[in-house]
C-alpha cells in the first residue's frame, strides 16, 4: 500500500484499508511517501520484498507521481488498484472509488451556495454516494491475468 504519510486524510484512508485487509487475512506492506524522491525508496522496498499487488491511496503527491508507479508496476509485473479511474486509463489494472464527475458537480453546488451568502461552516459534510469500478483488460493481458467474467460484468467501464 502506497500513500502520502504526510497527509492526515490519506493516512486515515490507509488505516481503514489496512483494517479491512486484516479482517480478510491479507498482509499489508505499507510504504508511506512524503515527497517525490521517496518513491524510489518505496520501489526499492517493493523490489526487495515483492508484494502481490499495489494499492495506491490517491492525493496530489501520489497522483503527480502516478505514471512512475504505473511504469514500476508494469516493469515488475504487479497488478495495481487505484481510487481514481484516470489511473486505469494511464495503464493501471483497476480502480474503485467515488465517481469524480459527481464530486466535481457537488463541489460546484457548494461554491454557488457560498457565493450566494452561505457560511462554509454551515454547509453539511457529505460523503460520496456513487462509486465506479474500472478494469483495464490491456493491462490484465500484459500481466498474464484473466479477469473473471462475473467481475467484468460488475465493472462500470472495461478498457480494451
User: Residue 117's pLDDT is what?
Assistant: 96
Residue 153 lies in a domain: yes
d(CA 96, CA 133): 5
Of 8-17, 34-43, 53-62, 137-146, the range with the lowest mean pLDDT is: 8-17
Residue 124 lies in a domain: no
| % of the chain exceeding 70 in pLDDT | 100
The confidence band for 71, taking pLDDT boundaries of 50, 70 and 90, is very high
The answer to whether the CB of 50 falls within 8 A of the CB of 72 is no
Residue 94 lies in a domain: yes
User: Rounded mean pLDDT of 14-34?
Assistant: 91
User: Rounded mean pLDDT of 8-19?
Assistant: 87
Segments forming the whole domain that contains residue 155: 2-98+130-159
Residue 76 lies in a domain: yes
How many structural domains does the chain have? 1
59-65: Cβ within 8 A, 24+ apart: 59/3, 59/4, 59/7, 59/9, 59/10, 60/4, 61/4, 61/6, 61/7, 61/33, 61/34, 61/35, 61/36, 62/2, 62/3, 62/4, 62/10, 62/33, 63/87, 64/36, 65/33, 65/36, 65/39
The confidence band for 13, taking pLDDT boundaries of 50, 70 and 90, is confident
Residue 46 lies in a domain: yes
Residue 107 lies in a domain: no
User: Residue 152's pLDDT is what?
Assistant: 96
Residue 10 lies in a domain: yes
CATH number at residue 35: 3.40.50.2300
- Is the pLDDT at 14 greater than 90? The verdict is no
- Is the pLDDT at 126 greater than 90? The verdict is no
Residue 56 lies in a domain: yes
User: Rounded mean pLDDT of 104-120?
Assistant: 93
- Is the pLDDT at 92 greater than 90? The verdict is yes
d(CA 93, CA 49): 21
- Is the pLDDT at 128 greater than 90? The verdict is no
User: Rounded mean pLDDT of 29-35?
Assistant: 93
Amino acid at each position: 500500500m502506497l500513500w502520502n504519510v504526510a497527509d492526515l486524510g490519506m493516512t486515515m484512508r490507509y488505516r481503514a484499508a489496512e483494517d479491512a485487509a486484516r479482517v480478510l487475512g491479507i498482509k499489508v506492506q505499507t510504504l508511506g511517501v512524503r515527497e517525490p524522491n521517496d518513491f524510489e525508496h518505496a520501489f526499492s522496498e517493493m523490489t526487495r520484498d515483492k508484494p502481490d499487488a499495489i494499492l495506491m491511496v490517491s492525493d496530489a503527491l501520489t497522483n503527480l507521481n502516478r505514471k512512475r508507479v504505473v511504469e514500476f508496476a508494469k516493469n515488475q509485473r504487479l497488478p495495481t488498484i487505484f481510487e481514481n479511474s484516470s489511473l486505469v486509463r494511464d495503464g493501471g489494472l483497476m480502480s474503485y472509488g467515488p465517481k469524480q464527475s459527481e464530486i466535481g458537480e457537488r463541489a460546484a453546488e457548494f461554491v454557488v451556495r457560498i457565493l450566494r451568502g452561505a457560511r462554509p461552516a454551515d454547509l453539511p459534510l457529505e460523503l460520496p454516494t456513487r462509486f465506479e469500478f474500472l478494469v483495464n483488460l490491456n493491462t490484465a493481458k500484459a500481466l498474464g491475468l484473466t479477469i473473471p467474467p462475473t467481475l467484468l460484468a460488475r465493472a462500470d467501464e472495461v478498457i480494451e
